[in-house]
Structure 1
Amino acid sequence: MKKKINLIVKESNKNMRVDVFINSKENEISRTRVKNLILEKKLKINNKVILDPAKKVLKDDAIELIIPEPKKASLKPFKFKLDIVHEDKDIIVLNKPAGIVMHPGAGNFDNTIVNALVDYDKDSLSNIGDELRPGIVHRIDKNTSGLVVVAKNNLSHENLSNQFNKHSITRVYQLLIWGKVRPSKGKIETLITRSSKNRQMMEVSRTKGKKAITNYRTIEIFENKHTPTLSLVECKLETGRTHQIRVHMNFLGNSVVGDDKYKKKFKKIKNINPLIEQNLNRLKRQFLHAKTLGFIHPTKSKEMTFNSNLPLELENILKILRNTNK
């Protein structure tokens, strides 16, 4: 059902961005959604349509935001066995394997996690976002594995979106990188923007883009004369930008093993252990796994944390590296 939000700006709120102002007054609607609705011409200030989410409001401005009826998704079900870690009436927590994308997009409209969720239970997904992304609050890349949370209703979707926007969600990843990162632990804080050379890639910029913060620490280093130097690293995200970890590691000069987009050239190792070479060459994904996901349950208001083991193909590489390191 269509909903209308009407607000009057008070003296204490003047000069706020209009999207921030609406979000501060209407906690159940995320700022991202407010912004998207403004871009879709759903906002009027003093009866005039406004398309700029950053427009500053003035005292006594009359704000009207229309929240349209959610669209019905028309998605094909996809028979795919979902690894469900947790499910209740509000959310599903999934352990996503590498090799499958989260939602339909250019070149793949049918074989996605969303299509699998539609097959699993088409009537239990939020529908306030993009028509092709019911339930999807956040994403991980096609060739990354690990934990994602899906919203089963609109209230949960808004609540979780707000938590992501406030960067209060716990997200910890494990990854194997080329070389040794120096210092061995620290914080990477940069701007990330779309690459000017390849629109499918992102890059660090000094002047434009969104702030991206990654905390990292080295867990283990694998180094001997028969192996390339590799490091097992843990990254904890403060922000969740597209390809953030991959871009940040590449920026440091230590790209993720198996990453076919963000990669540095490495010298060929002489006398490399054939078992390691074989397993690294066989890896058809990046060695990047969303290991921990924590958030406040959208209706029960209790803290929930989920952990996931590394997939077998990644664990096997570590076993071989550890045996070679002895």
Structure 2
Amino acid sequence: MIFSGNFAAMMNEPMQEPDDDLFEHHKIIADPGQAPLRIDKFLMDRISNATRNKIQNGIADGFVDVNGSSVKSNYKVKPGDVITVSMPEPPRDTDVVPEDIPLNIVYEDKDLLVVNKEAGMVVHPAYQNWSGTLVNALTYHFQNLPEMEGNEGRPGLVHRIDKDTSGLLVIAKSETAMHGLAKQFYDHSIERTYYALVWGIPVPEKGTIDINLGRSLKDRRITVAYEDETIGRNAITHYELLKDYRYVSLVKCNLETGRTHQIRAHMKHIGHTLFNDATYGGDKLLKGTQFSKYKQFVDNCFKTIPRQALHAKSLGFVHPVTKEFMQFDSELPEDFTNVIDKWEHYVQYN
């Protein structure tokens, strides 16, 4: 027995988290005569357009349950097993409604464009955010944008950033650009630099975080680090301290991989949660005194930047058509610069 959905689309690496529970896309009950078979091979035979790699990634990210519990790719399906594949988004038509939403375009040619996304804008339609997204704007301003296979309903996208993260994104306008950029992301050759305001001062001041990330088994809305290398997916972040503000610091992060909430989860793992990142506990006073004056100052800082303090500042890649290396940089948005000014003033006069 099987209830089908778009497995190929949902097994693509997610970069943006939902605000609610998972939705069942597939439910398969193994036949009474089912011979023992690895679950990844089992699902490949029963779900169209699903590659073994996508299935294994989905299992690692916690999207596949057997009899109500998460399993690993080498689990052997048995007669009567109930296999469910769930996702943050309910099954839905992939048609995108074009919307006349202004775009901050920093570069454009016939093959691609680079946009500077403001905080608060969702990148693509998803649960609770079917309109007002970057993709809705793109489909209004540009016709016939290409789509990656298995990524229907997200024209032009080759990568994503979280709703409340601001900064640069490259968008493909041609098939050649899409395939060329996608390969660079796959090869980890894209240069991506983020600025983050984090709690505490990293020691050492410069380093590499190399630890697997995956969805939490307790709360799949968040990403957690796994010491066990058989769980989750490889993730690498290079960080460098830029400015010490006594209780918080400005840090530069370079992504080698691009997992869901990678910087947010990695920085929390080493004890330096992003400032005002509510999902990971950064919206609480994590460093400093308990004096009311300081607590009031921190609360005012939270109001100044009512989101995680993370900005995709620069982007570098080889143009997939001209083969020219292109580098783009962006200014920190106003809320980010304002909260930095507040901390600079505080450490100078207190």
Please classify the TM superposition score into its range, dividing by the shorter chain length.
Answer: 0.7 to 0.9
Question: Counterpart in 2 of 1:217?
Answer: 240
What CA distance in whole angstroms lies between the structure 2 residues aligned with 1:247 and 1:85? 29
Q: Is the Cα contact below 8 Å between 2:94 and 2:153 reproduced in 1? A: yes
Cα root mean square deviation, aligned: 2.4
1:79 is displaced (CA, Å) by 2.3
What CA distance in whole angstroms lies between the structure 2 residues aligned with 1:39 and 1:244? 31
Instruction: State the identity as a percent.
Output: 39
What CA distance in whole angstroms lies between the structure 1 residues aligned with 2:207 and 2:49? 43
Q: Would the alpha carbon gap of residues 111 and 185 (structure 1) be closer, same or farther in structure 2, given more than 3 Å must change?
A: same
Which letter does structure 2 place at the counterpart of 1:293? L
Any residues of structure 2 matched to 1:99-178 within 5 Å, and which? 99-121=120-142, 123-129=143-149, 130-178=151-199
What CA distance in whole angstroms lies between the structure 1 residues aligned with 2:145 and 2:159? 14
Unaligned runs of 5+ in 2: 1-43, 55-92
Q: Is the Cα contact below 8 Å between 2:237 and 2:263 reproduced in 1? A: yes
**Greater CA deviation, 269-278 or 230-239?**
269-278
1:274 is displaced (CA, Å) by 4.9
Q: Is the Cα contact below 8 Å between 2:304 and 2:335 reproduced in 1? A: no
Q: Is the Cα contact below 8 Å between 2:147 and 2:153 reproduced in 1? A: no
Question: Counterpart in 2 of 1:235?
Answer: 253
Question: Counterpart in 1 of 2:66?
Answer: none
Unaligned runs of 5+ in 1: 1-36, 44-50, 55-71, 224-228
Say if 2:267 is the partner of 1:249: yes
Out of 303, 312, 319, which is 2:334 matched to? Answer: 312
What CA distance in whole angstroms lies between the structure 2 residues aligned with 1:269 and 1:289? 29
**TM-score (norm. length: structure 2):** 0.70
What CA distance in whole angstroms lies between the structure 1 residues aligned with 2:318 and 2:199? 35
What CA distance in whole angstroms lies between the structure 1 residues aligned with 2:338 and 2:232? 38
What CA distance in whole angstroms lies between the structure 2 residues aligned with 1:127 and 1:187? 33
What CA distance in whole angstroms lies between the structure 2 residues aligned with 1:179 and 1:290? 21
1:74 is displaced (CA, Å) by 2.5
- SS of structure 1 residue aligned to 2:156: coil
Any residues of structure 2 matched to 1:47-126 within 5 Å, and which? 52-53=52-53, 74-121=95-142, 123-126=143-146
What CA distance in whole angstroms lies between the structure 2 residues aligned with 1:274 and 1:205? 36
Which letter does structure 2 place at the counterpart of 1:263? G
**TM-score (norm. length: structure 1):** 0.75
- SS of structure 2 residue aligned to 1:258: coil
Q: Is the Cα contact below 8 Å between 1:73 and 1:134 reproduced in 2? A: no
- SS of structure 1 residue aligned to 2:176: helix
Q: Would the alpha carbon gap of residues 107 and 42 (structure 1) be closer, same or farther in structure 2, given more than 3 Å must change?
A: closer
Which letter does structure 2 place at the counterpart of 1:311? P
Which letter does structure 2 place at the counterpart of 1:322? E
Question: Counterpart in 2 of 1:323?
Answer: 345
1:39 is displaced (CA, Å) by 9.0
1:269 is displaced (CA, Å) by 3.3
Q: Is the Cα contact below 8 Å between 2:106 and 2:115 reproduced in 1? A: yes
- SS of structure 2 residue aligned to 1:242: coil
